[in-house]
């Protein structure tokens, strides 16, 4: 089985992963409206909607929501009941309460502008580490080690790291993700990773035969080199 016992070897393989997945993404990225904006508010709304919801389902609702509620003030003015009804269509009524409370705080404390500071973001209702880093990275282009179900699975398989519920908070995963994003266009690379996990490195029956990094992937090696 391949291993990464020396930092030098790991760095070489990280560069290969970064380059090949980015190249894959240049031809295969999915088209979503929230990927075309730098507006922190619009990115935050998308991340709230995407929580435990299929992106294709969010795509149907997202544009209409942003048109009706273009900023935090419009959410507060509309009232908590109306926002809850909007999110109920996505099966996320419970998330609407956090977004409404967050909007009230941003209006009162930050003059309606979302602070792009990780600690402040984490103090807001409904914002965890993933959403905080996603908002910062996708609105500013600043590299952040964003770990979600897809990126954790890809990193774990390639670098032979055990994947469990705490992997998103595991320093080994975070260290590798830092190295992957710090020398690339972080947005494009992260979108590529997310879509690569959704299309190729899937949780069930991954399409290893179509994978551009199958020659250096521990998951492929552990399965006897059998490419599915």
Check whether residue 54 and residue 151 sit in a common domain: no
Q: Is residue 1 part of a domain?
A: no
d(CA 172, CA 98): 31
Q: Is residue 47 part of a domain?
A: yes
Write down the pLDDT at residue 77: 97
CB 171 within 8 Å of CB 219: no
170: domain CATH number?
1.10.1670.10
Q: Is residue 227 part of a domain?
A: no
Write down the pLDDT at residue 55: 93
In the predicted model, what is the mean pLDDT of residues 60-69?
96
The total domain count for the chain is 2
Domain-terminating residue out of 110, 140, 170? 140
d(CA 176, CA 155): 8
Q: Is residue 164 part of a domain?
A: yes
Check whether residue 74 and residue 135 sit in a common domain: yes
Check whether residue 81 and residue 134 sit in a common domain: yes
pLDDT tens-digit profile of 51-62?
888 999 999 999
pLDDT tens-digit profile of 15-27?
999 999 999 999 9
What is the model's pTM?
Answer: 0.89
Check whether residue 117 and residue 183 sit in a common domain: no
pLDDT at 208 over 70: yes
Percent of the chain with pLDDT over 70: 93
DSSP structure string for 54-94: -HHHHHHHHHHHHHH--SHHHHHHH-HHHHHHHHHTTT-HH
Residues in Cβ contact with 53 at an 8 Å cutoff, skipping those fewer than 6 apart: 90, 91, 92
Check whether residue 90 and residue 39 sit in a common domain: yes
Domain-terminating residue out of 140, 169, 186? 140
Check whether residue 71 and residue 107 sit in a common domain: yes
End-to-end CA distance of the chain: 18
Write down the pLDDT at residue 7: 64
Host domain of residue 130? 33-140
Domain-terminating residue out of 125, 140, 155? 140
In the predicted model, what is the mean pLDDT of residues 165-186?
88
Locate 91 and state its tokens.
């099966």
127: domain CATH number?
1.10.340.30
pLDDT tens-digit profile of 149-173?
999 999 999 999 999 888 888 899 9
Q: Is residue 228 part of a domain?
A: no
What dihedral angle (degrees, nearest 10) is formed by the CA atoms of 125, 112, 34, 36? -150
């Amino acid at each position: 089985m391949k291993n990464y016992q020396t930092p030098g070897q790991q760095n070489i393989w990280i560069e290969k992963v970064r380059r090949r997945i980015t190249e894959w993404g240049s031809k295969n990225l999915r088209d979503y409206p929230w990927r075309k904006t730098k507006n922190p508010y619009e990115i935050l709304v998308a991340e709230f909607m995407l929580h435990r919801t299929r992106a294709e389902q969010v795509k149907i609702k997202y544009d209409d929501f942003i048109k009706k509620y273009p900023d935090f003030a419009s959410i507060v003015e509309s009232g908590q009941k109306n926002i809850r009804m909007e999110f109920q269509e996505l099966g996320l009524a419970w998330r609407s309460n956090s977004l409404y409370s967050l909007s009230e705080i941003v209006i009162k404390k930050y003059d309606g502008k979302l602070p792009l500071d990780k600690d402040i973001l984490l103090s807001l209702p409904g914002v965890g580490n993933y959403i905080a880093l996603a908002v910062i990275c996708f609105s500013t282009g600043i590299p952040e080690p964003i770990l979600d179900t897809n990126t954790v699975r890809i990193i774990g398989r390639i670098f032979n790291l055990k994947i469990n519920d705490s992997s998103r908070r595991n320093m080994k995963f975070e260290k590798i993700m830092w190295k992957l994003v710090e020398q690339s266009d972080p947005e494009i690379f992260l979108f590529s990773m997310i879509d690569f996990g959704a299309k190729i490195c899937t949780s069930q029956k991954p399409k290893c035969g179509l994978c551009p990094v199958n020659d250096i992937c521990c998951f492929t090696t552990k399965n006897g080199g059998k490419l599915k």
